[in-house]
Amino acid sequence: MKFFIDSADLKELKDLASTGMVDGVTTNPSLIAKSGRDMIEVIGEICAIVDGPVSAEVTATDHATMLAEGRKLAGIARNVAVKVPLTPDGLKTCRVLADEGTQVNVTLCFSPAQAILAAKAGAAFVSPFVGRLDDIGTDGMQLIADIVEIYDAYPAIRTEVLVASVRHPIHVVAAAKLGAHVATLPPNVLRQMYQHPLTDKGLAAFLADWQKTGQSILG
């Protein structure tokens, strides 16, 4: 399973990239606003830190302007994946950009029917939002199961399931069990995944015993 980081915070991204766990980055207009940075600049800087796909989202809602924005974003760096919303204009834009060789991430997917359309439009990634579905009292992970099942039934589909709106490590584990290709993690979720109290307790006991030996591996 690939891990993308859902953030436009350069400091966080540099720190997490050094862990070797980061395969890409996703941003959205809310995350760019939170960064307080110029979008074109910050996407360029993120692309220089991370080799994998960096999603940059269009903000227009009509096809012609989305396409112009998408082409501009794709020109920032070779690893930009243009993110478009799952609307008729968004999918029309996806088709054109995909045919031009640009990776497209279709975002704001909330149903299996929408995911079928994203695959038909040639999306490199479809982003179902699990946390926001959970928030309204539905089972976000069932959507992942449905999309994975549908895509698996058609080997010609190349679209990767990118689990978004992830809120905790249990989302990541559940998505991995279903065989989702990618999860985009808020920085705190990746950090939480390392944690287990028995790891801390076990390490403390090993180190206490080691100290009693008076030895040092490096001499």
User: Rule CB under 6 A: is residue 164 a binding residue for ligand G3P?
Assistant: yes
User: Rule CB under 6 A: is residue 7 a binding residue for ligand G3P?
Assistant: no
User: Rule CB under 6 A: is residue 143 a binding residue for ligand G3P?
Assistant: no
| H-type alpha helices, the chain | 10-17, 29-35, 39-49, 63-74, 88-99, 112-120, 130-135, 140-152, 169-177, 187-193, 197-213
Give 169's contacts (C-beta < 8 A, 6+ positions apart).
189, 192, 193
Interface segment toward ligand G3P; rule CB under 6 A; list 128-136, 142-150, 194-202, 209-217 = 128-136
CB of 166 to ligand G3P, least distance (A): 7
| H-type alpha helices, 100-194 | 112-120, 130-135, 140-152, 169-177, 187-193
Estimate the crossing angle of helix 10-17 against helix 39-49, to 10 degrees: 10
User: Rule CB under 6 A: is residue 6 a binding residue for ligand G3P?
Assistant: yes
User: Rule CB under 6 A: is residue 105 a binding residue for ligand G3P?
Assistant: no
CA atoms within 13 A on the CB side of 152: 10
Task: Respond yes or no: is residue 120 known to be catalytic.
Answer: no
CB of 216 to ligand G3P, least distance (A): 45
Interface segment toward ligand G3P; rule CB under 6 A; list 13-21, 46-54, 124-132, 171-179 = 124-132
Which amino acid would we find at residue 153?
A: A
What 3 state SS string does 66-81 have?
HHHHHHHHHCCCCCEE
CB of 205 to ligand G3P, least distance (A): 38
In the set 83, 92, 177, 212, the catalytic residue is 83
User: Rule CB under 6 A: is residue 131 a binding residue for ligand G3P?
Assistant: yes
CA atoms of 87 and 171, how far apart (whole Å): 26
CB of 67 to ligand G3P, least distance (A): 21
3-class DSSP state for residue 50?
A: coil
User: Rule CB under 6 A: is residue 112 a binding residue for ligand G3P?
Assistant: no
User: Rule CB under 6 A: is residue 114 a binding residue for ligand G3P?
Assistant: no
Q: Give the Å distances, CA to CA, from 144 to 160, 161, 177, 180, 185.
A: 11, 8, 10, 7, 15
User: Rule CB under 6 A: is residue 165 a binding residue for ligand G3P?
Assistant: yes
Among 3, 4, 7, 28, binds ligand G3P (CB under 6 A): 28
| Residues marked as catalytic | 83
Per CB under 6 A, residues contacting ligand G3P are 6, 26, 28, 129, 131-132, 164-165, 184
